[in-house]
Structure 1
Amino acid sequence: MSIPDPDPRPQPPIEPALEDCCGSGCPNCIFDVYQMLLANYKEALAAWEVRHPEAVEKPGQE
């Protein structure tokens, strides 16, 4: 049995498809929510990369 990673890499939110929007002008449109989740993800990823510099891919390092 493996021990779960106590600090896993953040995962990006799933981008909604165009047909996922109802088109009624909701105050919390699925695309607005996605943009908020994406901003939160980018912030969390940047913080995670500071804690895990060995995991950050450098240019030309493939």
Structure 2
Amino acid sequence: MLELGRAILRLEKARRELLNIDPGDKEKLLAASRKVDRLVTEYYRLKYGFKTAGTAAGR
């Protein structure tokens, strides 16, 4: 449960960083967006116990 809380905190921090990026800086936006995506995936793996990284296309 502690790891889930840490994942939420990291996700919130990354989300705040994303919101503070200048909309004209596309490269920074893309990098921050990818970080948020990665952290969301980590959160769901921790919450629901997924062991492997799969893709939707592989289903």
TM-score (norm 1): 0.46
Greater Cα radius of gyration, structure 1 or 2: 1
Structure with bigger helix share is: 2
TM-score (norm 2): 0.48
